[in-house]
């Protein structure tokens, strides 16, 4: 007869049940542990108050990352109607008012419950730098009006200020390299070339440059555990609108009343106002005495001659450093690939010259033909392009090539390392993203500790351990198992 142990069945059942509960509990904990919480985004808004216009950018990033280190991307941009805020010096309230439509758009784009925690920044560049130099109380009034307008919105307003040229250059560089994911990986960085309406910036890392030769051109960063020694310079008055003023001002010196301009198409003719031309600190000291109030601006479309005119806006006469770009400004040896954005892109894209694998000589030949095309023909070919932009592409293209080759010393070879870009992975190239990343501490100095295992790794390991524990428990109960019924029974 089979011997019956009264503990057998209940003990086995209890232990089995505990084992199963333990496994379920362990696996559940492992699954929930460091599982991404439901997606929640954070937002930031930056207004780029440029000399020619203001643009609003909305950025978003996942909120669950520690220390705000989630990837930031641009979700929306809005171009403010009208001119830049510095053009409202005589009626500052209009500067504030001009921002309303884009701000209302931002109110709709950022989820309502995030409004109060969304930082809002306004950074002004060369237009306000010039106004501040010319008339600082007018620039203060513009800022007061802008501030009043922005504070009416439900965002977390963080202030409006003029960026230094250094900041503008450095943040443009941070943006380009962040969007290209070059900073986290410690890859070779890309230089940044920004051409605005009133200033232009060049920023790049050069290995044999330690910053000591010209400290004012040096910015050091520690980002994701890597040290960068960045060369950067902003040339005030060398944005394309101010250079055009300088070029015209120079040509009026040869005789007031009329300019025959090689940078404008044959057949182009406009009557322009001297007081408008000279209304900028970049040229005001050159205003001819007793000049008539208007002049005839006529084009004759000649690239080579235009290049000579443009070259005269640069001063190459003195350099107290080992090497200079122009105007006695230090520049180390050019290095690495470059991203060229804003007007570099607008102009070269219009001219179909963004492909830098085309040899520089061919680029110049194309521009020679373009500049020589009669103005009437150009207008017919581009009926949808704004006439003031259209009239200036020959000048702007010539300025870009002259700035790059004569100014910054790009050669036929290094020219091909430039990429004319507007966006990188969906976000606009420009200083705004870098500015926000910096102010929200979104780029850590040290590389963040990454978890030794991905989430799936934790789940698998805990499941295996739980299974082994279960097997161990079952095996440890072996002495209590009922004997095999095939054993011979002794009666």
Ligand X SMILES: O=P(O)(O)OP(=O)(O)OP(=O)(O)OC[C@H]1O[C@@H](n2cnc3c(O)ncnc32)[C@H](O)[C@@H]1O
Q: Which is nearer to ligand X, 341 or 458 (CB)?
A: 341
Residue 364: CB partners within 8 Å, gap ≥ 6? 303, 401
The reply on whether position 50 binds ligand X by CB under 6 A is: yes
Q: Which is nearer to ligand X, 197 or 434 (CB)?
A: 197
Q: Could you tell which of Ca ion, ligand X, none binds residue 419, using a CB distance below 5 to 8 A set by kind? A: none
What span, in angstroms and rounded, lies between the C-alpha atoms of 238 and 199? 5
The answer to the question of residue 125 lying near ligand X (CB under 6 A) is yes
> Does 233 help bind ligand X (rule: CB under 6 A)?
no
Least Å from the CB of residue 85 to ligand X: 10
Binding to ligand X in span 30-49, by CB under 6 A: none
With binding defined as CB under 6 A, does residue 123 bind ligand X?
no
Catalytic residue among 107, 168, 308, 376: 168
**168 noted as active-site residue:** yes
Binding segment for Ca ion among 50-58, 159-167, 396-404, 461-469 (CB under 5 A)? Answer: 50-58
User: Is 70 annotated for ligand binding?
Assistant: no
Output 110 or 237, the one with its CB closest to ligand X: 237
Residue 345 or 410 with smaller CB distance to ligand X: 345
Of 78 and 198, nearer to ligand X (C-beta) is: 198
Could you tell me which residues come within 8 angstroms of residue 278 by beta carbon, excluding any fewer than 6 positions away?
Answer: 245, 249, 284, 286, 287
- Check whether 328 is labelled as a binding-site residue: no
Looking at residues 341 to 380 of the shown chain, list those that interact with ligand X (rule: CB under 6 A).
342-343, 346-347, 350
Per-residue interface string for the shown chain with ligand X, residues 374-413, x marking contact by CB under 6 A: ---------------x------------------------
Q: Which of residues 177-216 bind ligand X (CB under 6 A)?
A: 196-199
199 annotated ligand binder: yes
20: which 2 tokens? 């199963």
Q: Name which of residues 272 to 291 contact ligand X (CB under 6 A).
A: none
Question: For Ca ion, which stretch binds (CB under 5 A), given 48-56, 115-123, 318-326, 414-422?
Answer: 48-56
Question: Which CB, 334 or 390, lies closer to ligand X?
Answer: 390
- Cβ burial, residue 275 (10 Å; 0-12/13-18/19+): exposed
Please identify which residue in 167, 180, 241, 261 interacts with ligand X, judged by CB under 6 A.
241
Token code pair at residue 314: 């640069």
Q: Identify the residue among 196, 299, 339, 397 touching Ca ion (CB under 5 A).
A: 196
Annotated binding residue 239: no
Residue 60 marked in a binding site: no
Binding partner of residue 199 among ligand X, Ca ion, none, CB cut-off 5 to 8 Å per kind: ligand X
* Three-state secondary structure of the chain: CCCCCCCHHHHHHHHHHHHHHHHHHHHHHHHHCCCCCCCCEEEEEEEEECCCCEEEEEEEEECCCHHHCCCCEEEEEEECCCCCHHHHCCCCHHHHHHCHHHHHHHHHHCCHHHHHHCEEEEEECHHHHHHHHHCHHHHHHHHHHHHHHHHCCCCEEEEEEECCHHHHHHHHHHHHHHHCCCCCCCCCCCEEEEECCCEEEEEEECCCCCCCCCHHHEEEEEECCEEEEEEEEEEECCCHHHHHHHHHHHHHCCCCCEEEECCCCCCCEEEEEHHHHCCCCCCHHHCCCCCCCEEEEEECCCHHHHHHHHHCCCCCCCCCCCCECCCCCECCCCCCCEEEEEHHHHHHHHCCCCCCCCCHHHHHHHHHHHHHCCHHHHHHHCCCCCHHHHHHHHHHHHHHHHHHHHHCCCCHHHHCCEEECCEECCEECCHHHHHHHHHCCCCCCCCCCCCCCCHHHHHHHHHHHHHHHHHHHHHHCHHHCCCCCCCCCCC
One character per residue 51-90, x = contact with ligand X (rule: CB under 6 A): xxx------------------------------x------
332 lies in the site for Ca ion, by CB under 5 A: no
Q: How many residues lie near Ca ion (CB under 5 A)?
A: 2
Per-residue x/- track, 154-193, Ca ion (CB under 5 A): ----------------------------------------
Q: Which residue number, 51 or 280, has a Cβ lying nearer to ligand X?
A: 51
* Buried-state track 296-316, b at ≥16 Cβ within 10 A, e below 16: ebebbbbbebbbebbeebbee
Query: Are 183 and 309 in contact, with CB atoms under 8 Å apart?
Result: no
Map the footprint of ligand X across residues 250-269, applying CB under 6 A.
none
* Distance of closest approach, residue 290 Cβ to Ca ion, in angstroms: 37
Nearer to Ca ion among residue 203 and residue 414 (C-beta) = 203
Among 19, 44, 50, 397, binds Ca ion (CB under 5 A): 50
- Which chain residues interact with Ca ion by CB under 5 A? 50, 196
Annotated binding site: 197-201
Q: What are the residue numbers of the active site?
A: 168
Annotated binding site for ATP: 197-201
- Which chain residues interact with ligand X by CB under 6 A? 50-53, 84, 125-127, 196-199, 239-241, 342-343, 346-347, 350, 389
């Amino acid at each position: 007869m089979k011997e019956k142990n009264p503990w057998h069945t209940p003990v086995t059942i209890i232990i089995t049940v505990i084992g199963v509960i333990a496994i379920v509990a362990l696996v559940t904990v492992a699954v929930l542990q460091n599982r991404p919480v439901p997606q929640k985004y954070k937002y930031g808004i930056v207004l780029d108050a440029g000399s020619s216009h203001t643009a609003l950018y909305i950025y978003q990033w996942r909120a669950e990352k520690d220390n705000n280190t989630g990837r930031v991307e641009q979700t929306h941009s809005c171009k403010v109607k009208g001119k830049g805020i510095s053009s409202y010096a005589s009626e500052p309230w209009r500067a504030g008012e001009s921002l309303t439509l884009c701000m209302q758009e931002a109110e709709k784009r950022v989820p309502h419950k995030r409004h109060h925690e969304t930082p809002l920044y306004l950074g002004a560049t060369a237009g306000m730098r010039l106004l501040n130099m010319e008339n600082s109380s007018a620039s203060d009034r513009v800022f007061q009006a802008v501030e009043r307008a922005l504070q009416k919105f439900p965002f977390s307003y963080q202030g409006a200020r003029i960026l230094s040229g250094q900041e503008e250059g450095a943040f443009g560089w941070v943006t380009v390299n962040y969007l290209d994911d070059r900073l986290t990986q410690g890859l070779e960085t890309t230089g940044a070339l920004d051409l605005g309406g009133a200033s232009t910036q060049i920023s790049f890392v050069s290995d044999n440059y330690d910053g000591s030769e010209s400290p004012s051109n040096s910015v050091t960063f520690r980002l994701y555990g890597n040290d960068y020694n960045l060369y950067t310079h902003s040339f005030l008055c060398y944005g394309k609108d101010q250079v055009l003023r300088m070029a015209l001002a120079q040509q009026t010196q040869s005789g007031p009343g009329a300019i025959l301009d090689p940078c404008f198409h044959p057949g182009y003719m406009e009557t322009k106002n001297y007081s408008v031309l000279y209304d900028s600190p970049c040229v005001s000291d050159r205003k001819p005495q007793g000049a008539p109030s208007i002049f005839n601006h006529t084009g004759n479309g000649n690239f080579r001659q235009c290049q000579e005119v443009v070259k005269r806006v640069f001063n190459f006469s003195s350099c107290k450093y080992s090497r200079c770009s122009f105007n006695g400004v230090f520049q180390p040896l050019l290095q690495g690939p470059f991203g060229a954005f804003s007007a570099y892109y607008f102009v070269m894209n219009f001219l179909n010259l963004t492909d830098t694998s085309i040899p520089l000589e061919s680029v110049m030949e194309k521009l020679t033909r373009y500049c020589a095309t009669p103005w009437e023909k150009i207008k017919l070919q581009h009926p949808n392009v704004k006439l003031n932009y259209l009239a200036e592409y020959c000048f702007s293209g010539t300025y870009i090539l002259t700035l790059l080759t004569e100014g910054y010393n790009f050669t036929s070879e290094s020219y091909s390392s430039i990429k004319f870009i507007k966006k990188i992975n969906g976000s606009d190239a420009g200083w705004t993203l870098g500015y926000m990343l910096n102010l929200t501490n979104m780029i850590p100095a040290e590389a963040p500790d990454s978890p030794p295992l991905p989430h799936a790794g934790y789940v698998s390991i805990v499941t295996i351990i739980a299974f082994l524990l279960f097997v161990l428990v079952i095996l440890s109960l072996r002495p209590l198992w009922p004997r095999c019924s095939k054993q011979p029974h002794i009666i």
